[in-house]
């Protein structure tokens, strides 16, 4: 792997790159193998942390200085992993890109759009050149979250919440929504011992087999409901967006990439 070449290609984006050894060895600080955004006296930089036992080779396969993005390929034997590295509004970011057909930055953008977004851009977008803008006729995007207009949604105002946080699995800095409304989903019971929730039938079995389980502060919640938001959506690293009317919330597809665990960065 030509580290000098990698550094020069990141520099063409206006970014710094550091290649270090995972686990805080002689090259760098503690941290798992993978790709991260670090910070020092010179500001933000990309960091690739290597585990010598894995022998992963990285190379830039597409570079778009005009967009301030590049596509990074990690290769270990026959396995290939692709990562989009770039600048979004105020900060550098990195995310895993799913799909075997991704060959460049633009196809990575498209691969990260969830099915609903691909559909609404096909149906509603007037100018194809706007397909990757943060705001167009089909959606509004803030970071990894897409907001798709839902003009026909009927809302029970009693179920509307305020200050709703959006995070990926409860980690990272939240995107805070002024108003939110949930509908549908699977009814589950949640407690500290079962944070992922159990079905109604499983909950009944647990409390019958263990009488003490009745005191575990169970809460009835809904798994995978549809989420809609309106009003302002705020995040420290992004410009606040204001949604007129209700919008359905969908996340990008990064989590479907098997190698997404290699991305340490969380916004």
Answer whether 250's CB lies under 8 Å from 114's CB: yes
Q: What are the structure tokens assigned to 105, written together?
A: 């930055």
Instruction: Report the distance separating Cα 216 and Cα 193, nearest Å.
Output: 8
pLDDT value of position 260: 79
Instruction: Report the distance separating Cα 220 and Cα 217, nearest Å.
Output: 10
Instruction: Report the distance separating Cα 35 and Cα 48, nearest Å.
Output: 5
pLDDT value of position 265: 53
Answer whether 194's CB lies under 8 Å from 253's CB: no
Q: Where are the alpha helices (DSSP H) in 44-134?
A: 105-112, 115-124
- Coil, strand, or helix at residue 4? helix
* Distances in whole angstroms, Cα of residue 41 to Cα of each of 38, 44, 45, 148: 11, 9, 10, 39
Mean pLDDT of 154-172: 84
Mean pLDDT of 35-42: 90
pLDDT value of position 114: 96
Mean pLDDT of 6-18: 96
pLDDT value of position 221: 78
Answer whether 85's CB lies under 8 Å from 76's CB: no
């Amino acid at each position: 792997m030509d580290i000098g070449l990698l550094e020069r290609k990141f520099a063409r984006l206006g970014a710094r790159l550091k290649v270090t050894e995972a686990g805080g060895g002689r090259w760098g600080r503690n941290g798992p193998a993978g790709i991260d955004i670090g910070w020092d006296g010179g500001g933000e930089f990309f960091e690739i942390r290597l585990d010598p036992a894995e022998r992963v080779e990285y190379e830039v396969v597409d570079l778009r200085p005009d967009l301030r993005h590049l596509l990074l390929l990690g290769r270990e034997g026959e396995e290939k992993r692709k990562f989009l590295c770039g600048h979004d509004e105020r900060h550098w970011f990195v995310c895993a890109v799913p799909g075997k057909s991704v060959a460049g930055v633009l196809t990575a953008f498209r691969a990260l759009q969830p099915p609903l977004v691909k559909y609404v851009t096909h149906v509603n977008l007037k100018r194809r050149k706007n397909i990757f803008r943060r705001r167009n006729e089909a959606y509004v995007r803030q970071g990894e979250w897409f907001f798709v207009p839902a003009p026909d949604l009927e809302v029970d105002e009693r179920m509307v919440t305020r200050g709703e946080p959006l995070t990926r699995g409860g980690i990272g800095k939240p995107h805070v929504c002024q108003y939110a409304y949930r509908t549908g989903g699977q009814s589950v019971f949640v407690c500290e011992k079962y944070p992922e929730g159990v079905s109604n039938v499983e909950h009944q079995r647990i409390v019958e087999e263990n009488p003490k389980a009745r005191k575990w502060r169970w809460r009835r919640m809904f798994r995978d409901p549809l989420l809609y938001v309106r009003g302002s959506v705020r995040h420290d690293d992004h410009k606040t967006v204001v949604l007129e009317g209700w919008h359905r919330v969908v996340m990008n597809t990064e989590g479907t990439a098997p190698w997404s665990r290699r991305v340490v960065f969380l916004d």
